Amino acid sequence: MKRIKNLVLALLLLVLFFPLTGFSEGEKTKDLPNILWIVSEDNSAYFTGCYGNSFATTPNIDKLASEGFLYTHAYCPSAVCAPSRNAILTGVYASSNGNENMRSEYAKSAVVKTYPEYLREVGYYCTNNEKTDYNTNSVDPATIWDESSRTAHYKNRPEGKPFFAVFNSMISHESCIFTRSVPYDSLRHDPDKVPLPPYHPNTKEVRHDWAQYYDCIEDMDTWVGSLLKELDDSGLADNTIVFYYGDNGGVLPRSKRYLYETGTQVPLVIRIPGKYKSLFPSSQPGDKIDRLVNFPDLLPTLLSIAGVKVPDYIQGKAFLGDQKTKDTEYTFFQRQRMDERFDHVRAVRDQKYRYIRNYMPFRINMQHLAYLFNEPSAQSWEEEFRAGRTNEIQSRAFKERPVEELYDTENDPWEITNLANDPKYADVLKRMRGALDDWRKDSKDVGVIPELEYGILAGDTPLYDFVRSGKCNYEELRKASDLAVLGGPEDMDTYISYLQDENSAIRYWGATGILVHKDRAKPAIQALKNAVKETSVQTATLVAETLAQLGEKELAKQVYLRILNDDKSELLDRAFVLNSIDAIDFREPEIEKWIKTYYGAKIKTLNGFAIYAQYDVSLTKSILEKWGVIEKPTGGFSF
């Protein structure tokens, strides 16, 4: 018996002690695969040959797809880089993190970690070359990465360490079509033969941008090939899983930044060496995978491959490895402020249908966003519309939107036939509505709070934490936001009561509801007049906008000028007001004088790209150009 006890004791000591001291770091990590991420910018899956576009020239990406697995339904959640990269980094939708507004710096919750932190904990050498753009001030690239710079490379890793390496290219970024670097007749892709979507006018400027972008895609594909060759030459290809994806869709007008297929569907190709065959998502390389995948899914997939338990807070679902989940039925999207232009859209997609809900339907799709309108095609489209030369489909982008949009993406790939009001699709509409409602509820969509109220309501608390705290009546806010756009004139009394609520976010949704139903909002005029001293800038602005359209222009002007002249007003406050003035073309003499004076004083202090960060100046410039007060540039950069 004593010998048995001694044997058991020895075994216990072996189990407890040996794992800590018996293996070197190299032995603990030797079975982990290297992982290489190749990331291009702004290109939809549509622009690659392997996704069925015979006009595209992408031999290297096509070859990679033949050697790996092509995901036919891969998406980014925000149709623009920074919020989408936030979701990649954290495995949480940016609309849950409070980082959904483009170019914002709101704090990340301490609960939410980044994927390089997890990978480094299990022995990976993590490099990033070099784009970060995480849309939060809470992440220091120098802290989370082993290397993050234009020289960062897996070749710099210590001997024996597995690597995780990201290489990012700007070759296909939208800026590649801002200038006419190649004459029309010298483009490699013939602009006269390029297929155009039905919503784009057939102009030389539009055709040039499309053809020039195909050339940029070809150049980007060459870059992809060079990275793959470098990997082969290093002798590491057989131990390295390669991901190639685009960071968001794009790039021609009505793609990047918009929650349509052209803005959200991205190429995703994954090559897995034979030694990791257990990770294959299908029987053999070259197969196409129909599973719905979105960027929040990348982090849990990395953890699943690396053998790290996926934390419960992660919203994405692993699609490879031991923790792979069953295929998801839906995936989700969000759009809010894009630089100086405010908007609020949520969407959901299944394998066939896309449902979009516009929480600011009184804003047009093609708002004059300064950076976007460097594209000659965007300028041409707007000019054609204003000249009356666009057809009904091409004109929609410059008109107010419906609250709901529903598209059959299989039979209507350009998403131009809205089925939301078609009785034959009533069941589909109901189902997709419910899916979006459930996701917003479960993910705690921070968008229930207007952006300018973030700091007022949450203070220094990260928004992810605030909406999960007892200080935020989340369900009340969510229901108010949905009623504002999905309700009807019969809900006007509720909107009026919202306008008098103690909670500034509820008041905003009251003002939104009245504005959405402005054509039948006369019963609310007195309530709107009573609200002209509203302290919340976004609510006060929507009150003014509604009053102006109900004939109360003097009151509206007073509200606008009160905010614009307030020394306490900040850049986004002025930007929101200017968005409203522009939307309803409120060209009153005192308003025009303020805009001219402000622009004249500020533009002298800005050089080059600085104007894109000064949203109020960008807006005054575009308004004055529209009104013919200052000359409008044609083609190329607009500064």
Catalytic annotation, residues = 81
Say if CB 176 and CB 187 are below 8 A apart. Answer: no
C-alpha–C-alpha distance, residues 441 and 96, integer Å: 10
Say if CB 249 and CB 333 are below 8 A apart. Answer: no
Alpha helix (H) residue ranges in 329-398: 376-386, 392-395
Cβ-proximal residues to 52 (8 Å cutoff; 6+ apart), any chain? none
Cβ-proximal residues to 383 (8 Å cutoff; 6+ apart), any chain? none
C-alpha–C-alpha distance, residues 112 and 419, integer Å: 38
Q: What is the DSSP track for 234-287?
A: TT-GGGEEEEEEESS---STTSTTSSSHHHHB--EEEE--GGGGGG-SSSSTT-
> Quick one: tokens of 433?
């509505």
- Pairing of β 288-294 and β 268-271: unpaired
* 307-314 contacts, C-beta under 8 A, 24 or more apart: 307/32, 307/122, 308/118, 308/119, 308/121, 308/122, 311/113, 313/92, 313/111, 313/112, 314/91, 314/92
Q: Which of 69, 405, 48 is nearest to 259 (CA)?
A: 405
In the numeric block, the tokens 């096509």 are attached to 62
Q: What's the length of the chain?
A: 639
Cβ neighbours, 10 Å, residue 312: 5
Cβ neighbours, 10 Å, residue 500: 12
Say if CB 334 and CB 447 are below 8 A apart. Answer: yes
Say if CB 555 and CB 536 are below 8 A apart. Answer: no
> Quick one: tokens of 233?
């030459």
Sheet holding 147-148, edge to edge: 147-148, 125-129, 163-169, 34-40, 240-246, 268-271, 69-75, 288-294
Write phi, then psi, for 577 (nearest 5 degrees).
Answer: -65, -45
- Pairing of β 69-75 and β 288-294: parallel
Say if CB 245 and CB 268 are below 8 A apart. Answer: yes
Q: Which of 186, 198, 224, 193 is nearest to 210 (CA)?
A: 193
- Pairing of β 125-129 and β 163-169: parallel
Say if CB 516 and CB 545 are below 8 A apart. Answer: no
SS3 state of residue 126? strand
C-alpha–C-alpha distance, residues 413 and 367, integer Å: 23
* 12-20 contacts, C-beta under 8 A, 24 or more apart: none
Q: Which of 304, 293, 303, 298 is nearest to 328 (CA)?
A: 293
C-alpha–C-alpha distance, residues 415 and 303, integer Å: 35
Alpha carbon 595 to chain centroid distance?
Answer: 30
In the numeric block, the tokens 């001219």 are attached to 596
